Amino acid sequence: MSQSRRDFIKFAVVGSVAAGCPVDATLIAAPDSKAGAGPQVHGEHFEVCHQVRDGHQFERPDVTQKADVVIIGGGVAGLSAAYFLRGKEWLLLEKEDHFGGNAFQEEYDGQPFATGSAYAYRGDEGDHLAKEIGLTLLPVDNPDPTIINKTFVPDTWKAGLDQLPYPKEVRESFRKFRDEMMKIKVREKMAELDTQPLTNFTSGYAPEITQWWDGYGPSNWGATTADTSAFVGISSMQDLASGGDAKRVILPGGLGCITHKLVEVLQPKYKERMLGDATVVAVVQDKDAVRVTYLREGKLITVSAKAVLMCTPKHITSRIVLGLPPDQKTAMRHIRYAPYPVVNLIFDQPVYNRGYDNWCPGNSFTDFIVADWTVRNTPGYKQKNNILSFYTPLREEQRSTLLDEEDCKSLAARVLADFQKLMPEFNVNPVEVRIYRRGHPMFMAVPGHYTKTRIAAAHPMDRIFFGNADSGGPESLTSEAIRLSKVGTEWADLVLAGKPGAKDLAEKALQAVAD
């Protein structure tokens, strides 16, 4: 894209680069829509968490507050824990000025769209919770088309295999790969498959297959084919080929619609217990209580809790919980996270409304989603703007590029240029481009993560429970974050009542294999 054309489109860069770091609210103020000015640059500051990362010892003042349960982290794990703990005395501490974490929705001209987490599955914990708080997630039709060589292929891994615009032998290779993978008994062989990379199974097939999974893997679980656990990759292949993707459900805003609604439900009654801009710097377990020190409005405050639910990712947890057993701390640090910006292109005219999650191998983005896909046919609904969310997971070694706003804008410009080249009719300029950057939002489903590392990382302490999506799996799932928060609240009940069995309950939940 030429510089002058790029300057004409409004760019907004938002979000936390180093997860665990507070964002300056004044820097992420919503841009003035349709202003047509040059690129707007927004940024963040992360002094506090980088200080924690670099070993700075914050002062830990004496206890001045008390709560039965302190919940640390206000993503979907922390918010759902607060919801399940209604009626108890809890305090929720979140470092950002908003709740939602990686399931956070933004809006443009009243239209919600996702900045991260996209969809749930009918009947999973996310779907159940949504229903309980008054949201009906709608089914996703046409879930996984592929757009390649200017060809739209619906239903990629079923009837679509015959339509892939590749030479006949490549299409045959796709078919053979799928059929061979379908024969593997993944549940029976889980432990063995989870020690191996997916490349052990893709090698020998057409390279286009690896290219396809090099998009699907990073987008869904942060890892390329070479870094993906074969258990995760083959399970997903089987799910796609057997129509599991037909069970997907969502509303505009992605899974941010659930966190948005949870805040709406909780805040009227519990506003004073839900603290944003509150960055936890130390969690210390004593015999009868846990001291949690957090920084808010420049002041360090210590609250004493009978039980703590850690709903932060482990790379942060490992740095703020003091006194972790060394092996557990090592396991937490062993978890790898993908840097993962999301680019939203906002068009003021219909450009693309043909499929929900569109896979585009070989581009600067892996896939893109139509924000209002599941409501488009609702009687009376009229699409005001066509908002497309582009997933652009990066390699770990590219993380530092997110620190540079010019690099973020260049990425967004590449996304736009690649999109415009996909099909002739896509050559339209958006009215606005939003870039939501995150440094470590998604754990990578690498070999060994599911069956070994996460379990070693998440053993509960006497009064500290380790939740968050990265305690579950096989990939980073909102449903797992919610499932574990439910367990965490039962665990807290036992701890508060001084009853036995809390540890066993937590260990059992870690061992439970997700459906």
Residues that bind ligand FAD (CB under 6 A): 20, 72-78, 93-96, 101-103, 116-120, 255, 279-280, 311-313, 316, 320, 340, 342, 391, 441-442, 468-469, 476-479, 481
Q: Position of tokens 């918010």?
A: 79
Residues 348/428, Cβ–Cβ less than 8 Å: no
Which string of DSSP letters, residue by residue, matches 260-326?
A: HHHHHHHHHHHGGGEESS-EEEEEEE-SS-EEEEEEETTEEEEEEEEEEEE-S-HHHHHHHBTT--H
As measured in angstroms, the least distance from the Cβ of 29 to ligand FAD is 18
Least distance CB 498 / ligand FAD (angstroms): 28
Smallest gap, in angstroms, from Cβ of residue 318 to ligand FAD?
11
Cα–Cα distance for residue pair 222/438, rounded to 1 Å: 13
The CA distance from 210 to 225, in Å, is 6
List, in sequence order, every beta strand (DSSP E) within 327-469.
337-338, 342-347, 357-359, 367-370, 386-391, 432-436, 442-443, 464-466
For residue 113, the minimal CB distance to ligand FAD (Å) is: 12
Nearest to 408 by CA among 55, 4, 9, 13: 13
Residue (235 or 279) nearer to ligand FAD, CB: 279
CA-based diameter of the chain, in Å? 72
**Which is nearer to ligand FAD, 103 or 164 (by Cβ)?**
103
Closest distance of CB 383 from ligand FAD, Å? 22
- Spatial distance between the Cα atoms of 352 and 425, rounded to a whole number of angstroms: 9
What is the smallest separation between the CB atom of 71 and ligand FAD, expressed in angstroms? Answer: 9
Residue 8 Cβ vs ligand FAD, minimum distance, rounded to whole Å: 28
Query: Residue 177 or 436: which CB sits closer to ligand FAD?
Result: 436
Distance CA 367, CA 118 (A): 12
**Min separation Cβ 295 and ligand FAD, Å:** 9
**In angstroms, rounded to a whole number, what is the distance separating the alpha carbons of residues 48 and 95?**
10
CB neighbours (10 Å) of residue 509? 21
Which residue number, 237 or 282, has a Cβ lying nearer to ligand FAD?
Answer: 282
Q: Which residues pair with 292 in a beta bridge?
A: 283, 303
Cβ distance to ligand FAD smaller for residue 313 or 488: 313
